[in-house]
Structure 1
Amino acid sequence: MRVLFTPLPASSHFFNLVPLAWALRAAGHEVRVAICPNMVSMVTGAGLTAVPVGDELDLISLAARNKLVLGNGVAFDEGRRPELFDELLSINSGRDMDAVEQLHLVDDRSLDDLMGFAEKWQPDLVVWDAMVCSGPVVAQALGVRHVRMLVALDVSGWLRSGFLEYLESKPPEQRVDPLGAWLGAKLSKFGATFDEEIVTGQATIDPVSSWMRLPVDLDYISMRFVPYNGPAVVPEWLREPPTKPRVCVTRGLTKRQQSRVAEQWEGEAQEQAMVETLLRGAAGLDVEVIATLSGGEVREMGELPPNVRVHEYVPLNELLESCSAIIHHGSTTTQETATVNGVPQLILPGTFWDESRRAELLADRGAGLVLDRATFTEDDVRRQLARLLDEPSFAANAALIRGEIEENPSPHDIVARLEKLVAEGKNRRAGKSDGHL
């Protein structure tokens, strides 16, 4: 079968799709990845075939200007409060729709390019990033099967189900669905109509641990998270075992990309100060600290302690095989890579999407600890890191979770499920053409 992937053009989102794309190729299926032109090399560097669509897009700069779409610390424990949806309704129907459209990549240029390619190539399946609605729009218009791919907790599905409940509570004349109307207009251009599958998929591939899953009534396909950090070379120093406990301190690729647009990224100076606090706090112990930072970030910090080694880039999965702990900002890719390596984690969660929620859930399982962004100090870092290293329960619980993950279906294992989904779709269309359905 032919499978078309439509990732969000950010490294963490694309890297999340790569193991499944490889699994499909290894099973003999054709794979194409539709991406904005300036991200083509990221796709080809992963050994996959890219299809440029739309205009060049600086996603990080766009995200820096518009935090709404990425979420801003959703308070899950407070429930889906009506005022949350009042705010979403106001925003999504107002002045910010242009930014929403750009981030969901359903602008007319990219959508036309994607449809033009898909009409000629005729995919059997579209696998779309949960933040890229052009994928399901094209799939719906062509009548092909499509599945959504998560890169974090299903905040989109959680919010959408709550929003629909919220609309039901309103009088009929007040039941306005800006997202449905907006996507419906895009679909009408191709003679198709909107349904909820455009937002939540005909099925949802979930690579995040199922015990973290939000309570949403959808068809989820669990898939083991397989780390991919991009093309990499294992440096010589990493081939030798550490002489002291090794601790990784990282912001992750996305956070570092954000720093490149610091003039647009609100609070970047504060983020830099937090990283320095993490580094100096960790260095207060008798450990080897490996920090993945850019030269510019390091220059801002001045002289660092002698047990801190800074590298522009180290493949995270390979590095964590030798680490006793990791300190990071809570991105899904970083947290899940540490989890599959059984490494205890000290997390300073960011304010986007689900970062705080995932950090808290990991701490509840006894495999990590969480720092308070508003109050943490070097002493807090040193004390919490010492607990992770000295108390055996953290490593034991991290190993337990790693074992659970290894029991989940691999990308290879779910290929058959996707083949069945496509076959069912073809049978349904054949039945309709014969007048039986």
Structure 2
Amino acid sequence: MRVLVVPFPWKTHVFNMVPLAWSLQTAGHEVRVAAWPDLLDAVTSAGLTAVAVGPGETPQVRRARDRRQTSERAAAAKGAPQEGLDALFAIRPDRERLSWEQARRVFDDLVLPQARRSNDSMMEDLVALARAWRPDLVLWGAKAFAGAVAAEAVGAAHARVLYSVDVYTRMREDFLHAQALQPPEQRVDAMRDWLAAWAEKYGAAFCEDLVDGQFTIAPLPEAFRPDPRPTTLAVQFVPYNGPAVVPRWLAEPPPAPRVLMTFGDSAEDRTARLPLPVERIQEILDAVADVAMELVLALPPQARRELREVPAHTRLVESVPLAEVLPTCSAVVHHGGTWSFGCALRYGVPQLLIGRAFDAPLKFRCLERAGAGLAMTPAEVDGPAVRAALVRLLKDTALRANAARLREEMLAMPAPNELARTLEDLVAARRPGPVPAPR
């Protein structure tokens, strides 16, 4: 069969799709990855076939523009994006729902603006590609809604591929539940209106599959799937970080328990912002200077130059291949990014998450409920707080046991090669017939 892979237009999201794409390719299927032009190298360096869709601009230009637009919207809406982010922190693993006001803030201030910026510009190219190539299956990354529209436009089966906890299903269910309780004239749905307009342009009708996919591929253990559905397909998180070289110092065992501290910034992205100011990182280093450990601190060059003093037990690096370093670690402190989080789970490493990303609230609460790590927002961070959390990660046997348990659960999940066979069967069962001719 033909498989079209549509990642959300960011490098780490491309990486998230690579293991499954390769599993389908080595099973004998034709695989193409549709990506923004500035991400084509990330696709081809993984040995996959790329097709350009959308605008040609660098991540730095896009990030700067997005920051400017976010600031302008925040000023116009008197802080509405921040209010939407605050509403996310009301999401819990149990079934406590967002209110109508909170749900609308999340979609109107956070989800929809980002979705439009990332999808509108590639929608026409992607539908044209689907009509010309006629895929049997479209795998689209969470937030890459253009993939769902393209699949519906040509009658292809399609699945949403998560990179983290499924905060999107939770938010959508809460929104629809709260919407149904409103007077009919107040049941607005900007997300539906946006997707319906695109779908109708290409001869398809709106359905909730455009938001959640016909299937959802979930790469994390059950503890991080608080809203299971019959259409959820579990798969192991398999790390792929792009081209990497194993550092020589990994060949020797550490002199003390090794701790990795990384905030996810790539050396290739000089404009990336740390979740903490360098002054706060320095405060943390001062506070943990007497902790018996080997600290591996990964920071971009400018941040490293701004540090006042580095403790003697600290190895300062620009970046590290997580899949190689984390198996040697006793704990990890990170910003809650996809790869840091997934690799820590896969290798059974207790973790401290420091961040305020879109998926952070639900991820934080799932992790703490599973008893395998700790979490705090940047506003809660200071030297003593991080020191206390780090000491607990290193000494709390329950945290370590739970992290090891989650590793075993993850390794018991279907590998991407197994999921590839499941997808073959699902596509064969759902194949509706000939792909509709373009209008």
* 3-state secondary structure, aligned to 2:378: coil
Seen in structure 2, the aligned counterparts of structure 1 residues 114 and 375 have a Cα distance that, compared at 3 Å, is closer
Tell me which of 267, 271, 274 is aligned to 1:260.
271
Contact 1:344 1:367 in 2 (8 A): yes
In structure 2, give the amino acid aligned to 1:37.
Answer: P
Seen in structure 2, the aligned counterparts of structure 1 residues 375 and 136 have a Cα distance that, compared at 3 Å, is closer
Deviation at 1:88, TM superposition (A): 4.8
Seen in structure 2, the aligned counterparts of structure 1 residues 26 and 204 have a Cα distance that, compared at 3 Å, is same
Seen in structure 2, the aligned counterparts of structure 1 residues 390 and 270 have a Cα distance that, compared at 3 Å, is closer
In structure 1, give the amino acid aligned to 2:49.
Answer: T
1:309 is aligned to: 315
1:26 is aligned to: 26
Tell me, yes or no, if structure 1 residue 239 matches structure 2 residue 272: no
2:241 is aligned to: 229
Tell me which of 120, 126, 131 is aligned to 1:106.
120
- 2:3 and 2:182 map into 1 onto residues whose CA distance is 40
Deviation at 1:366, TM superposition (A): 2.7
Q: Deviations over 1:256-300 (max 9, x none)?
A: 8887155xxxxx685433333333333331211111111101112
2:76 is aligned to: none
2:211 is aligned to: 199
Deviation at 1:70, TM superposition (A): 12
Contact 1:61 1:258 in 2 (8 A): no
- 2:108 and 2:370 map into 1 onto residues whose CA distance is 38
Contact 2:139 2:160 in 1 (8 A): yes
2:418 is aligned to: 413
Tell me, yes or no, if structure 1 residue 321 matches structure 2 residue 327: yes
- 1:89 and 1:368 map into 2 onto residues whose CA distance is 29
Tell me, yes or no, if structure 1 residue 61 matches structure 2 residue 64: yes
2:358 is aligned to: 353
- 2:31 and 2:82 map into 1 onto residues whose CA distance is 29
In structure 1, give the amino acid aligned to 2:246.
Answer: V
1:14 is aligned to: 14
Deviation at 1:354, TM superposition (A): 2.4
Q: TM-score, normalised on structure 2?
A: 0.87
Q: TM-score, normalised on structure 1?
A: 0.88
Q: Deviations over 1:93-128 (max 9, x none)?
A: xxx96654113x133xx2222122222211110000
Moved more, 219-228 or 181-190: 181-190
In structure 1, give the amino acid aligned to 2:214.
Answer: Q
- 2:275 and 2:331 map into 1 onto residues whose CA distance is 26
How high is the sequence identity, in percent, across the aligned residues? Answer: 38
Seen in structure 2, the aligned counterparts of structure 1 residues 410 and 240 have a Cα distance that, compared at 3 Å, is same
1:366 is aligned to: 371
Contact 1:71 1:353 in 2 (8 A): no
Q: Deviations over 1:29-56 (max 9, x none)?
A: 1111111101111111111111111112
* 3-state secondary structure, aligned to 1:106: helix
Moved more, 140-149 or 226-235: 226-235
1:265 is aligned to: none
- 1:303 and 1:120 map into 2 onto residues whose CA distance is 58
- 1:127 and 1:322 map into 2 onto residues whose CA distance is 33
2:404 is aligned to: 399
Tell me, yes or no, if structure 1 residue 282 matches structure 2 residue 263: no
- 1:261 and 1:341 map into 2 onto residues whose CA distance is 27
In structure 1, give the amino acid aligned to 2:281.
Answer: V
* 3-state secondary structure, aligned to 1:113: helix
Contact 2:139 2:161 in 1 (8 A): yes
- 2:319 and 2:327 map into 1 onto residues whose CA distance is 16
* 3-state secondary structure, aligned to 1:286: coil
Seen in structure 2, the aligned counterparts of structure 1 residues 334 and 133 have a Cα distance that, compared at 3 Å, is same
1:294 is aligned to: 300
Tell me which of 62, 81, 106 is aligned to 2:99.
81
Deviation at 1:312, TM superposition (A): 1.2
1:169-180 map, 5 Å: 169-180=181-192
* 3-state secondary structure, aligned to 1:413: helix
Deviation at 1:385, TM superposition (A): 1.7
1:45 is aligned to: 45
- 1:90 and 1:70 map into 2 onto residues whose CA distance is 11
Contact 1:249 1:279 in 2 (8 A): no
2:162 is aligned to: 150
Deviation at 1:407, TM superposition (A): 0.7
Tell me, yes or no, if structure 1 residue 422 matches structure 2 residue 427: yes
Moved more, 417-426 or 207-216: 207-216
Aligned-residue RMSD, C-alpha? 2.6
- 2:375 and 2:100 map into 1 onto residues whose CA distance is 29
Corresponding pairs, count = 417
